[in-house]
Amino acid sequence: MTTETMITAAAKTTESADASGQATQQAATGAEAGSQQQQATEGQGTQGQQAEGTKTEGDQQQQENKPEGAPENYEFKAPEGQQFDDTVIGAFSEVAKELNLPQDAAQKVLDKMAPVIQARHMEQFEAARAQWAETAKSDKEFGGEKLDENLAMAKKAIDTFGTPEFRALLNDSGFGNHPEVIRVFYRAGKAISEDRFVAGSGGGKTPQSVAQRMYPGMNP
């Protein structure tokens, strides 16, 4: 029976020890690698949770910052002492709703546009009044050189038949400059003046009243 020498036996022991050491070292290295891999996995999970949380917070903040859209019905406030036209407001509301404007934004646009629209309306109104006056000055029936005299006659008819409210209406609307309005009151004033003059009754006919001369078809 062959007996291993010490050196042989020691060599084996060393190899065995080396193998055992290598196995232990490999096991330790594997364990360390597994731990590192687990830590990396856990780190990625934490980072993912943090990223998901950040994304959720960003979405919430974006939703909070998102402007509200158009309301079901707009409620516009007119400047003090003024009133909006219902037709204009209706058309503006339709456009604002199509643009999805919230209440405050639509009101701001209206506040900016309303004075411009009103100023433009007044310009057109004053231009119409001036045009009517110029046309009346050159009217063939009551204009020309005797304009002032004929206007005084028209005023006489207004003083006789008109009321203070009617005079205010003529002034506010500008129709007091319109040639056709002047024509009616000029003829009425002229009829009043002729009615005051009683001519000789050659035919014995009863003088006609102002209303009968203005409206020949009227029954006496």
In the chain, what are the domain boundaries? 65-128, 138-198+207-214
Residues 6+ apart with CB under 8 A from 162: none
Average pLDDT, stretch 22-26? 54
Lowest mean pLDDT among 8-17, 155-164, 182-191: 8-17
pLDDT at position 196: 63
- The predicted-structure confidence for 88-132, as pLDDT tens digits, reads as follows 899 999 999 999 999 999 999 999 988 898 899 899 999 999 999
- Tell if the pTM clears 0.75, that is, is over it: no
- When pLDDT is cut at 50, 70 and 90, the band that residue 141 belongs to is very high
**Token couple for 186:** 């000029």
Q: Give the whole-number percent of the chain exceeding pLDDT 90.
A: 47
Tokens 């020691």 belong to residue: 10
C-alpha distances out from residue 178 to 91, 132, 133, Å? 31, 5, 7
**Cα distance between residue 99 and residue 110, in whole Å:** 14
**Cα distance between residue 19 and residue 12, in whole Å:** 10
pLDDT at position 84: 86
Calculate the average pLDDT of the chain.
75
Q: Is the pLDDT of residue 159 over 80?
A: yes
**Cα distance between residue 211 and residue 208, in whole Å:** 8
Q: What Rg, from alpha-carbon coordinates, does the chain have?
A: 52
- The predicted-structure confidence for 54-75, as pLDDT tens digits, reads as follows 555 655 555 555 557 889 999 9
